[in-house]
A = this chain, B = another copy of it.
Amino acid sequence: MLLKALREEVLEANLELVRRGVVVFTFGNVSGISREEGLVAIKPSGVPYDELTVEQIVVTDLDANIRDTNLRPSSDLATHLELYKAFENIGGVAHTHSEFATAWAQARRPIPCFGTTHADYFHGDVPVTPDMTAEEIAGDYEKATGEVIVRTFSDRDPDATPGVLVASHGPFCWGRDAMDAVHNAVILDYIARMATHTVAANAQTGPVANALLDKHFFRKHGPGSYYGQTRR
């Protein structure tokens, strides 16, 4: 079997979406990439999670040519491919319709960085893409979805903001690998959930101070980080 380890990881990451409660039915999909081989493994379209097997994970190249199954890939494959092509450090992509992150995407409101939970993962607000044009929607829609995400990051570092809200649609997240992308998708929904309650408790509250944003983000990321056991 082609890329067995990557497919196993992608299978596991898709199942983690279910275990973490961020998908219902067949919504949501996760992929992972082998940068050396230029191949992507992704969930097949419309297969129930509890029937999903490693053989069913679809492998394609970066031009969406299917390499090793008879199944159709997730209909969002083209979006994932645009992200892999544009964001060169990422190894996995996760898309969900999770309850609260999707609600903010539907509200077309960036999630302000209201606290340190958010700042631990996202160095600033979680952006919303602009609305897609009727031409983009009518054309190669899923590819255009990837392009509008990439444009949203023209002046942002995707490694410091590992996710986005696609307007009127839902979140796409990414990470070092497929499981890390899922981790960020779960965190994003938790951040969105707390942001909803924050606004309910005080509609006028503002984002964290920049000093606190930097402190928390760089406590966990980059050369000066000191969270976890990795440096000992």
Residues of chain A at the chain B interface (Cβ within 8 Å): 24-27, 44-47, 70-72, 75, 97, 99-100, 102-109, 114-117, 131-132, 134, 137-138, 141, 168-170, 183, 186-187, 190, 193-202, 205, 208-209, 211-212, 215, 219, 226-232
Contact = CB atoms under 8 A, between A and B. Distances in A.
A138 B216 CA distance: 11
Contact of A209 (B71, B168, B200, B205): B168
Contacts of A219: 75, 141
Contact of A107 (B26, B201, B211): B201
Given A27-B117, A103-B194, A229-B71, A201 B201 contact: no
Copies of this chain present: 4
B114 A46 contact: no
A198 B106 contact: yes
Contacts of A200: 103, 196, 199-200
Given A103-B198, A107-B202, A226-B75, A215 B115 contact: no
A209 B209 CA distance: 36
Contact of A134 (B71, B211, B227): B211
A100 B193 CA distance: 9
A121 B108 CA distance: 21
A172 to B, nearest CB: 13
